[in-house]
Chains A and B, each alone.
Chain A
Amino acid sequence: MSESLFYKSATELSSLLQSGALSSVELTRAFIERTQAVEPSVKAFLQQNVEEALAMASESDFRRSRGQSLGPLDGIPVAIKDVISVKGASLSCGSRMLSHFVSPYDAHAAELLKAAGAVLWGRLNMDEFAMGSSTENSAFQTTSNPWNTDCIPGGSSGGSAAAVAAGESPLTLGTDTGGSIRQPAALCGVVGLKPTYGLVSRYGMVAYASSLEQIGPFGRTVADVAMLLQAIAGHDRRDSTSYKVDIPDYTAALQAPAKKWRLGIPKEYFAEGLDPEVRQAVRNAIEFYRAQGCEIVDVSLPHAELAIPVYYIIATAEASSNLARFDGVRYSYRSPNATDVVSLYSKSRGEGFGSEVKRRIILGTYVLSSGYYDAYYLRAQKVRTLIRDDFMKAYEQVDAILTPTSPTPAFKLGERKEDPLSMYLADIYTISANLAGIPGISIPCGFSSENLPLGLQILGKPYDEAGIMAVAHAFEQAHDFHKRYPSL
């Protein structure tokens, strides 16, 4: 396959399929071969379901040959983070706890992808139970950043971002609880979107922090992400927090002429701790929008710096409850050293969970425990209200907010692994969107002097995915950062 094919956007590949210039089997085979060539250095995949993927591709070609195409995604490979259920596929969540688990049913997002004709291609590496910012917490392997294999790809959806960046899959799904889609997208130089809370059903996604997380798309371009979001968004009665909202035509929204948006710049996101090269790249992006006639407005999100403590209290509290189900009884790892029921729980969990997961369970148990609940958990939930109110107030003045996605480019593998607090600070610009429930997208906006990608984050009003994608698309159209590729 020519190199230009596996670095083409999903939108271009979809046109090639629709015109008959390419079959889905040829396309899928090309991505399989590419994956097999670069996986030894990237390690984004936990499982490669070569035969099933080719069978799905063949079915897609058959449908298309009979004029029964299911739409733009029909025949396009989509690889999925190993926390989202696909019937018959592994579902390890990057954990020894579930190393042999096979999903008995499809997640809502997987059902919708199948209904759209997508070729479900492979299972992607992640931080164990989505807890981490570097994918180093996977129990199975360390994924590298395709731009520099000594660096982390970001996390927790590091496999999803690296697979797109390396040309192993044109589209992938990840999950975002505190930045786990946007931060790896930024560090790997691809586009990643966290939808508004409730837009995509969480049914069939293994829960970490239920009030914060969403499934979302990765792609090479904003239009690619729009195409994948279109397929997975929508109400599902099996997720009690799924929201009934009319889903607009996201792709059509991108084709509308760029507007003169009012864009907010929160000063709290440009304070101490921001890498100078990231700052400059984001400043350049702001100047681009200004030059296009957008109104640039200073806004304040005064509680921004409290987002990290609030997040790590609420997320760990929810985790301590959600992960109680992994007790060694019904489906997870069971310790052979147990002597009674309590030791069966404690030993299975002590041996089955990795160190970050245990740390968060302990922390979450502590903040919920008698005598500490009011001081930590209840107070954090109140500050969460203040954080959300800050955004809602800002959105009275502006259409969207521009910030860096990550305070630094990708850091080196191993650099922060032993220092959890410094790892937590990697999420400083992304976490607030999860607490406020608002949508956010990260797009490439430059490169560091060491040729590492830098990301621009665009945060929007609730359910205004179309709006932030339009803002992102306007930048992408005028720049070529998304057309650069790592040399692997």
Chain B
Amino acid sequence: MSEAPQIDIDYVARLARVELSPEEKVTYSAQLADILGYFDKLNAVDVDGIEPSAHPFHVVNVWAEDVPGECLPKEEAIRHAAKTKDEQVMVPKVVGDA
């Protein structure tokens, strides 16, 4: 099988929006290389012409009537946000000054 692939841990952590400590980066890189090496088993299988399964059973779309139902009350919906103001969730500034 091919050599165990190396993950570019900084790049993947950035894609995943997960900040890792320098120690975590070292540990995860080694562990993930092991795990990906194990995944190499799959390369030995001939999958030509095999349909991928997204679900165990064939599922088809089901339409439902668009009936308005009860919603969570606003205060309930934002109750767990770390920071709120005037019934809205607060986050650090997203756009720069005009």
Contact = CB atoms under 8 A, between A and B. Distances in A.
B83 A334 contact: yes
A211 B54 contact: yes
Contacts, number: 157
27 contacts: A104-B72, A197-B55, A211-B56, A237-B64, A308-B38, A309-B39, A309-B42, A328-B82, A329-B89, A330-B81, A346-B14, A349-B17, A350-B19, A358-B24, A358-B28, A362-B7, A378-B52, A379-B42, A380-B42, A381-B53, A382-B47, A385-B53, A420-B31, A421-B35, A424-B35, A436-B56, A437-B57
B56 A346 contact: no
Contacts of A420: 31, 34-35
Contacts of B43: 379
Contacts of A365: 12, 15-16
Contacts of A240: 59, 62
B85 interface: no
A249 interface: no
A359 B12 CA distance: 11
A240 B38 CA distance: 34
A327 interface: yes
Interface of B: 7, 9, 12-21, 24, 28, 31-32, 34-35, 38-39, 41-43, 45, 47, 50-57, 59, 62, 64, 72, 76-83, 89, 91-94
B13 A303 contact: no
B57 to A, nearest CB: 6
A132 interface: no
Interface stretch (A74-82, A271-279, A335-343): A335-343
B55 A346 contact: no
A346 B42 CA distance: 32
A157 interface: no
A395 to B, nearest CB: 14
Closest 5 CB pairs of A and B: A437-B56, A350-B19, A381-B52, A334-B82, A331-B80
A46 interface: no
B45 A330 contact: no
B32 A363 contact: yes
A49 to B, nearest CB: 19
B80 A330 contact: yes
A353 to B, nearest CB: 7
A338 B83 CA distance: 13
